[in-house]
Structure 1
Amino acid sequence: MRRDGDGARLMRLAALAEAVILAWGWRKRLIALVAGASGALALPPLDLWPLIIIPMTVAVWLVDGAVGTGRGSRFRAAFAAGWWWGFGFFLAGLWWLGAAFLVEADKFAWAMPLGVVVLPAFLALFPALAFGAARLAWPQGAGRILVLAAALAASEWLRGHVLTGFPWNVYGMMLAGEIHLAQFASLAGLYGLTLLAVAIGAAPAVLGTAKTRAGIWTAPLLALATLAGLFAFGLWRVPAGPSPVVAGVALRLMQPNLPQDAKFNGRNGEAILNRYLELSDRATSPTTPGLQRVTHLIWPESAFPFLLGREPRALARIAAVLPPDVTLITGAARAGETLPGESRPPIYNAIQVVNDEGVIVASYDKVHLVPFGEYLPPFLERLIRSVGLSEFVSIPGGFAAGRARLPLAIKGLPGAAPLICYEAVFPGEVAVRGPRAGFFLNLTNDGWFGQTSGPYQHFAQARLRSVEEGLPLVRVANTGISAVVDAYGRTVASLPLGVEGVLDAALPRPGPTTFYAWAGDLVFAGMLLVFLAISRLRAA
């Protein structure tokens, strides 16, 4: 009876595979669109990672169905299917970008389709290229699973680097929500995790297309074994108990939950500072009176609608609140030196360190800026301004980029690797020059995106950097999620999205240097070659 039941299920799966493979026209486009969109269910905030089998299995069948009379026509058919699949994935995964266009709706609401539709349409070119390239090397049998995994993982690496890169919601993030599965990133990074994620998710495709029952379960069983191996590695790597902490450090993270439209209004400057100071000095328990037992107070990105370094009264008020030997770390816009021939100084999105005397003693300027959000790409600037658009930040001409990712020296703390907002999503680019840092310091402002999935996705990506590099993360966000994460990606303490509050926490110690921190994407490159070699051997 069980064998008959398995046979019936396989027949139904074969019928489903045939329907996808033989679909044509708008029916095929709709199947690709919905299958791609289903991938968003495996991403934060839902993190339903087992559902990765839906988009990846259907992807195999879509490439199977990309037929034609020659290599060019097969490439074009696969490219088209991949574009619709990718468009669905990015449309469902990035819809929340539309919220940023409503912060100043009078200026930007009309351009919302550029972020919600045009950007996903552009990003879909990367999986489209992967589908097309895979079709050109498409073998029979289970080997095609490895070809698709290699092509999609390589296209994701390209997406993370071309035109300054946009590695948001890389497919490996579908597995990264499970902390033990995420530990593989300590060896091969996000892109190595992506390679395995695609292969594991696509393996069931062979059950619907095998011509004989012989060896039909080989690929799915190997996928399950790989999944079990990832989980076992995670269990081995993650300590059973809590991580040790840095002695003598007591952090206070302040999450003001300011509405984005109020945050950048210069008229609100004094009220915003008052709110920060009052909230920062709030007692969190009867035994913790205000800031008396805190060593470091941390505020979020772009905390003020003014240049802190040019407001001595604001610095004096901060000094009046800080107890002796308490240091403030805050996001703030910073003015540089006016260059010859320039009418105004460059403005940097910075992290600034203020001592208990109200003196700014250290700064870090954001290096990797957000295109269209913080600056306009030079080759598009004239065109964009001609249609009445500007960058989202209210800085004339946008922010200037910092020169180098340097450690931030903060009294009483190990060396900090500073990351401002978007910088935390780039695997392999978060380490600082010189000696290894002791922790990541990530100040951000996700208030642009409201109560959507965007802030959850942003936090998940920052947390994976801890796994990759073996460094703890201290993250302070205007509207959340603010958190302290240990070197294995475990959240030690956090404030949820959309609440006002303060969070007191110790600083976890760094873990051992990871293999990924030493080798970078070399492991991923080696895995790509192995996948392609095995696929050719199986095809021979």
Structure 2
Amino acid sequence: MERFANRILLMTGWRRSLLAVLAGALTVLGQAPFGIFAVCFVTFPLLVWLLDGAIAKPSRSWIATAWPAFATGWLFGFGYFVAGLWWIGNALFAEAGDYVWLWPFAVLAIPAFLAIFYGLAAVLARMMWSDGIGRIAALAFGFGVAEWLRSFAFTGFPWNAIGYAAMPVPMLMQSASAVGIVGMNALAVFVFSLPAVFAQGRWRAGFSAGLLVALLGAHAGYGYWRLAGAAAPDPGAPLVRIVQPDIEQSEKWDTERRNEIFDTLLALTAEPNATGEKPAIVVWPETSIPFILTESPDAVAAIAEALDSDQTLLAGAVRAAETGDGDGGSTYYNSILALNADGVIIDAADKEHLVPFGEYLPFKAIAERLGLKKIADADRGYSAAETRRTLSLPNGVVVLPSICYEAIFPYEMQADGDPATMIVNVTNDAWYGDTPGPYQHVHQARLRAVENGLPLVRAANNGISGIFDAYGRQLDALGYGVRGAVEARPGAPLPETIYRRYGRRIFLSILFVLAILAAGGRVAGRASHRRRNP
């Protein structure tokens, strides 16, 4: 293995660049829907060996010195994000095709931008680089910081964070209850990169192999222990039904089909189950109602007729509010409406974290001069909620609302109001078709349940809808492209998780330990160099 590592280290030119891109692209196999996390034990050692050789020529310029490491990390990231996010381009074909010309931007420019974070991770790592296991800690530190920055910089887009690859199944998800995805990002890179040390002599190989087995054992063992102690499902918990209408995006706002779409939602809501028990809560997906509900009294009456007296409907819908400036205009919100059996909207929650270019225009004045519009509902656009708050339902359930990709942001699982007993995520992934996108989305949403110890109810227009308990275990689900309804009892929330109580402090502690290990490796490396070269 030492000879192979040296060949990677000494690579130059296009071969080196191609290997970095391919290593990044292959890393995506660790993410949903594949879940082949073993591939990361190959790709991250390749990255380590490439960074071993990322040495600049002597220069007084800091940029010139950092460039080889940055370029290596950026190429790895570019391959990773192109292979993992190519499906974003499908959104441009979902409706009239007016935005097809933006396809190269979606498929190439977005990954190129996101890859900058991995370039910075590589630069941070090289600043603390050494020739032993310390460099593994340095790389983990760099990626931990980079993924943290990616979660909020420029509104944030932490999709396919590396840590998810280490948590493909519920038993391996439980570590998120202790360290969260932000902590798992750094720890996963550390573990995935350890095989790179196998090429550095018998003692180092043996030590790193032992450490690898110990960390993997702790990861899996903690998950096994936590699930073994899980309480049995509560048969008295409220029954929740998810309605999945499976409407093509190109037909979703078709005025000629809106009554048919609405009737489908009502029929699936009222459909009897095998036991005859009525669900206490029914959930419709994001923007499921194809018109402004408050402007259609007949639709409100139809909802009231479909619900029994003790049922509550949570419907993803567009909410309109008067602007208040006297011009008769309206402000629109992407919302979750809570309706009772009388058809009364008893509460509502608006989306706080909007999608740039999809739901609003950043730098609107400049963008409109260039002829750009919102891709999603271009003539209207949405306004963001001022704050996130829970919804208290009549049956005692308190909902933490999450609309669309808000579910991928771990720090957005906090809200004003009563403490939540359940997360409800409504989304519409029809924009992306049957691609890896919807599978990645639901996998990331499940981790929010584990981190927070809260059951998750996820309603998607055409999939993947599912009900998950507070351990992230799937209770029931509907696959992509299926029209129907599914129901289960999500159960009670768990006691406050370690991550929910100490999240940021745990993350900072992990970074601190990695920085100490990296610094120790660098000091030891310099001392060894002085002994060899007195």
Give the whole-Å Cα distance in 2 for the aligned partners of 1:332 and 1:395.
17
Q: Does 1:273 align with 2:262?
A: yes
Give the whole-Å Cα distance in 2 for the aligned partners of 1:480 and 1:415.
24
Aligned to 1:254: 243
Q: Does 1:353 align with 2:366?
A: no
Aligned to 1:524: 507
1:282-306 deviations in Å (ceiling 9; x for gaps): 2343x43xxx622222111101221
1:330-371 deviations in Å (ceiling 9; x for gaps): 001001222326662110000001111111111001111111
Q: Does 1:154 align with 2:137?
A: no
Cα offset, 1:249, TM superposition? 1.6
What is the SS of the residue equivalent to 2:97?
Answer: helix
1:457-504 deviations in Å (ceiling 9; x for gaps): 110111000111111101111111111111111111111111011112
**Counterpart mapping for 1:192-231 below 5 A:** 192-208=183-199, 210=200, 212-231=201-220
Q: Does 1:264 align with 2:253?
A: yes
1:162-213 deviations in Å (ceiling 9; x for gaps): 01111100000101213222211111110111111101110011123x1x43
Q: Does 1:442 align with 2:442?
A: no
Task: Output the TM-score relative to the length of structure 2.
Answer: 0.94
Residues 317/232 of structure 1: CA separation in 2 closer, same or farther (3 Å cut): same
Q: Does 1:107 align with 2:91?
A: no
Q: Retained in 2: the 8 A contact 1:74–1:136? A: no
Cα offset, 1:72, TM superposition? 4.4
Cα offset, 1:433, TM superposition? 2.0
Q: Retained in 1: the 8 A contact 2:124–2:138? A: no
Sequence identity (%): 39
Residues 241/182 of structure 1: CA separation in 2 closer, same or farther (3 Å cut): closer
Q: Which residue among 288, 296, 305 is the counterpart of 1:311?
A: 296
Q: Retained in 1: the 8 A contact 2:426–2:459? A: yes
Give the whole-Å Cα distance in 2 for the aligned partners of 1:405 and 1:343.
27
Q: Does 1:82 align with 2:73?
A: yes
Give the whole-Å Cα distance in 2 for the aligned partners of 1:342 and 1:34.
56
Aligned to 1:188: 179
Q: Retained in 2: the 8 A contact 1:134–1:148? A: yes
Query: What RMSD over aligned residues (CA atoms) do the two structures have, in Å?
Result: 1.6
Residues 434/279 of structure 1: CA separation in 2 closer, same or farther (3 Å cut): closer
Q: Retained in 2: the 8 A contact 1:75–1:133? A: no
Aligned to 2:165: 174
What is the SS of the residue equivalent to 2:89?
Answer: helix
**Counterpart mapping for 1:34-433 below 5 A:** 34-70=22-58, 72-208=63-199, 210=200, 212-239=201-228, 243-245=232-234, 247=236, 249-285=238-274, 287-288=275-276, 293-340=278-325, 344-377=329-362, 379=363, 381-394=364-377, 396-433=379-416
Q: Retained in 1: the 8 A contact 2:272–2:278? A: no
Q: Which residue among 440, 447, 453 is the counterpart of 1:457?
A: 440
Which segment drifts farther, 96-105 or 244-253? 244-253
Cα offset, 1:507, TM superposition? 2.7
1:259-312 deviations in Å (ceiling 9; x for gaps): 011112233221111111122222343x43xxx622222111101221112211
1:396-446 deviations in Å (ceiling 9; x for gaps): 341000111101111114211010111110012112224421010111111
- Give aligned pairs, total: 520
Aligned to 1:9: none
Cα offset, 1:223, TM superposition? 1.6
Give the whole-Å Cα distance in 2 for the aligned partners of 1:248 and 1:182.
24
Residues 34/248 of structure 1: CA separation in 2 closer, same or farther (3 Å cut): closer
Q: Retained in 1: the 8 A contact 2:289–2:315? A: no
Give the whole-Å Cα distance in 2 for the aligned partners of 1:189 and 1:486.
17
Q: Retained in 2: the 8 A contact 1:82–1:124? A: yes
Q: Retained in 2: the 8 A contact 1:455–1:481? A: yes
Q: Retained in 1: the 8 A contact 2:262–2:290? A: no
Amino acid at match of 1:123: L
Task: Output the TM-score relative to the length of structure 1.
Answer: 0.93
Give the whole-Å Cα distance in 1 for the aligned partners of 2:327 and 2:376.
20
Q: Retained in 2: the 8 A contact 1:251–1:507? A: yes
Q: Does 1:19 align with 2:11?
A: no
Give the whole-Å Cα distance in 1 for the aligned partners of 2:204 and 2:71.
32
Amino acid at match of 1:538: G
Cα offset, 1:131, TM superposition? 0.7
Give the whole-Å Cα distance in 2 for the aligned partners of 1:434 and 1:520.
20
Unaligned segments of structure 2, at least 5 residues: 524-534
Give the whole-Å Cα distance in 1 for the aligned partners of 2:14 and 2:520.
36
Give the whole-Å Cα distance in 2 for the aligned partners of 1:469 and 1:246.
22
Amino acid at match of 1:253: I
1:34-57 deviations in Å (ceiling 9; x for gaps): 000011100000101111112211
Which segment drifts farther, 504-513 or 69-78? 69-78
Q: Retained in 2: the 8 A contact 1:263–1:304? A: no
What is the SS of the residue equivalent to 1:252?
Answer: strand
Give the whole-Å Cα distance in 2 for the aligned partners of 1:466 and 1:251.
16
Q: Retained in 2: the 8 A contact 1:375–1:397? A: no
